[in-house]
Amino acid sequence: MAHPDIQHPLDAGLDALGTRLRTGEFTAVQLAEMVLDRVAQRNGGTPSYDGGPGAVNAWAHLDADTTLRDAAAADVRIAAGDASPLCGVPIAVKDLFAVAGQPLTASSRVLDTVPATRDSAPWAALAAAGAVYAGHTHTHEFAAGGTTDQVGNPWSLAHSAGGSSGGSAAAVAAGMVPAALGTDTAGSVRIPAALCGVSSFKPTYGRVPMDGVIPLAATLDHVGPLARTLADCALLLPVLSAATASRDPWGVFGGRAIPAPERVGLAGRRIAITPRADRDAVDADVRDGYDRIRGLLSSLGAELVELAAPDDLSSADYDTILIAEARAYHAQHRHRLDDYRASVRAFVDPGAAPLPVDAYLRAQTRRRAVTAEWDTWFGENRIDALLEPTSAITAPLRGPGYDAGKPAGGTDPLTMFTATWNVTGFPVAALPAGIGTRSGMPVGVSLVGPADADAHLLALGMALQEAAPPPAWGPEVPTPASHERNDR
């Protein structure tokens, strides 16, 4: 299916946008106006807390005046010869990233709409490169879930956009903005990318500073971009990873920036296949997409290596780390318990006693051992990347994700493949693998690399995506029927 607006600037890649801005084909202000027009056409109304069944509702907050003011400033820079490929390009940020002068609410009624006084480190880096603020996108409240139910999936509004960066993925998938920022604690940039048919990249832990970003679990959180293609993500990552960390209690944030990836081929690359992908919970459409990409890699000359996988960190240890860190942050909001959505209140439990320190430290010690096993596995087997599905299921039906008792953690079919790589901190390139023939919804795969192999992994993902481009979404895409098997 041809994209209905294939010549529209917002449907071009970031590199093409930057080139067209610098050659004067259109101005940054004109491009910002295109974004605002697309939002008006495709969001389904003004941003709202709960969304509606007929709305994408990707946005938590918009500020057209700031968007146009940023764009006018970018035009001045471009006229003066600024060569930054991001100068004048509109970028959305998940409603966890502080942007000076803009409210920051984590898509929650717990936080008041008081404007932030300073930029988060990731946004400060993008703004310094000339990026234009496009608005804040919805998150699953406080990033504490995988569905972001106030946001509709552009491929079918009855279905979830995934989460917790669901608004960012939906805004990109619907062509309202060319790129967006998200955070990832158990899969939160990769899951919505897979469910919405776009691309994302979770860098090695610590490569992008988190200061000024509302945390969920500090030692599991990562910042990552979402865009239509990995090539677009690759333009953002060198800037994001060069951001200045103003506070760094673990001594891991910032440092060496991720370089722009070099062009590579897939011939001779060792791509691992493990039994992790053979779990019963994997949906048939997801299985088809995974098998399609597996066959494509083989046809492109990659060496597929079938290997047993190291053991995962137990769900109990993962949950201990996540819950201990989340409670430590949310204790400050114990006086606002009634303002949380039901499942989030139960999950972060602001009024609960802290978990025992010794239990937390034992879980972290076992986490280090699991990470060391995976480090050895990649090295001894000379693996360039591991291929596996991103989410075990296609987009579930939208609505119940905020109900009390919904699952969270590594046993959830949305996170069963993704949470491992937050434990190890390894980089992951997530890309679409087509549209399911049964569901009519996008499916995705991930390439996982060893720590600090970000640029090489991006290069491999970009080479694969040249042969498997993302699906084309357009307003005429029919809404598939709701499927019972997706109602989980």
Contact assessment for residue 138 and residue 60, using Cβ atoms and an 8 Å cutoff: yes
The answer to whether the beta carbons of residues 88 and 28 sit under 8 Å apart is: yes
164 is catalytic: yes
Give the separation between CA 287 and CA 278, rounded to whole angstroms.
9
The beta-strand segments (E) located in 274-330 are: 303-306
| Location of structure tokens 């949380």 | 340
- Alpha-carbon distance of 393 to 315, in angstroms, equals 19
C-alpha 347/C-alpha 408 separation (Å) is 8
Q: Which of 84, 108, 168, 188 is catalytic?
A: 188
- Among candidate residues 84, 160, 164, 199, the one labeled active-site is 164
For 25-178, list the strands marked E by DSSP.
59-61, 90-94, 132-137, 152-153, 156-160
Q: Is 94 a catalytic residue?
A: yes
Q: Give the whole-angstrom CA distance, residue 90 versus residue 71.
A: 8
| DSSP H stretches of helix in 331-453 | 342-348, 357-380, 419-424
Q: How big is the CA angle at 439 (ends 11 and 7), to the nearest 5 degrees?
A: 15
Of these residues, 94, 107, 120, 156, which one is catalytic?
94
Question: What's at 285, amino acid-wise?
Answer: D
Distances, alpha carbon 141 to alpha carbons 29, 77, 102, 159, 340, in Å? 32, 37, 18, 18, 8
* Residues 419, 423, 425, 430, Cα dihedral to 10°: -10
CA 78 – CA 233 distance, rounded (Å): 22
Task: For residues 28 and 22, give the distance between their C-alpha atoms in angstroms, rounded to a whole number.
Answer: 9
Our answer to whether residue 160 is catalytic in this structure is: no
How far apart are the C-alpha atoms of 427 and 283, rounded to whole Å?
Answer: 25
Active-site annotation, residues: 94, 164, 188
